[in-house]
């Protein structure tokens, strides 16, 4: 039986990963996985997705880690706070998301955004791994417009902070440096390449994967 194709999209903050991922999935007729991964994990640990979303692709602070430990319940605590009844560590969250990614990729063609998918599926027989990046000024302009930030300086701070957080998180969870071109089959600068051109190039890789590894 032919294995499904998995396209993983890793991206710098503001490089258009979700936008291009949706366009690609629609073009190919593939399953699109982004926030659905988090919703599935939330269901498995009986938490609201919103309670986990701020912790994705970044390491918990010391204060957050302490709260997770205290949530287990101190000896004198009768009822822990409801939002922390089922504490999930960074590693557990990553492993649960990896489990969801692996389950879907084993069954159907999919476009998967973020969450270390390039590493989680590194042994997938029909993997197409993509990295989207861009000059910080261009990405910060996108973020400023998208989130209604008050200044370019604030937007740049967001971009730099999120890039650092993702790099630290993926290094801790996978042991690999991020971003590094060797982790991906194609790297695209979305500040210089249009969405349509990016999708076209990725589609050509998918078509090649069908032929070479079909």
Torsion sign over Cα 194, 129, 157, 88: positive
C-beta neighbour count of 29 within 10 angstroms:
7
What does the alpha-carbon distance between residue 143 and residue 134 come to, in Å, rounded to a whole number?
12
- Report DSSP letters for 138-186, one per residue: HHHHHHHHHHT-S-HHHHHHHHHHHHHHHHHHHHHHHSS-SS-GGG-SE
The string of pLDDT tens digits covering residues 154-187 is 999 999 999 998 999 999 999 999 889 999 999 9
Q: Which residue has the higher pLDDT, 85 or 208?
A: 208
Task: Please determine, for residue 77, whether its predicted confidence score (pLDDT) is greater than 90.
Answer: no
Is pTM beyond 0.85? Reply is no
Residue 98 CB contacts under 8 Å (≥ 6 apart), including other chains? 115, 116, 120
User: What residues contact 196, with CB distance under 8 A and at least 6 apart?
Assistant: none
Rounded CA separation 35/18 (Å): 10
Render pLDDT for 16-29 as a digit per residue (tens, 0 to 9): 999 999 999 999 99
């Amino acid at each position: 039986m032919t294995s499904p194709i998995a396209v993983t999209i890793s991206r710098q903050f503001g490089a258009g990963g979700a936008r291009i991922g949706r366009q690609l999935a629609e073009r190919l007729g593939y399953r699109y996985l982004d926030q659905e991964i988090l919703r599935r994990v939330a269901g498995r640990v009986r938490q609201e997705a919103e309670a986990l979303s701020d912790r994705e692709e970044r390491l918990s602070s010391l204060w957050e880690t302490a709260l997770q430990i205290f949530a287990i319940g101190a000896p004198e605590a009768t009822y822990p706070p409801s939002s922390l009844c089922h504490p999930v560590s960074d590693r557990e969250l990553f492993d649960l998301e990896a489990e969801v990614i692996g389950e879907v990729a084993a069954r159907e063609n999919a476009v998967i955004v973020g969450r270390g998918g390039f590493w989680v599926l590194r042994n997938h027989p029909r993997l197409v791994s993509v990295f989207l990046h861009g000059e910080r000024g261009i990405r910060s302009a996108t973020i400023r417009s998208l989130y209604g930030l008050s200044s370019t300086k604030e937007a740049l701070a967001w971009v730099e902070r999120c890039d650092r957080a993702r790099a630290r998180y993926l290094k801790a969870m996978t042991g690999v440096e991020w971003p590094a071109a060797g982790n991906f089959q194609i790297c695209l600068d979305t500040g210089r390449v249009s969405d349509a051109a990016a999708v076209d190039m990725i589609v050509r890789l998918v078509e090649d994967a069908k032929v070479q590894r079909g």
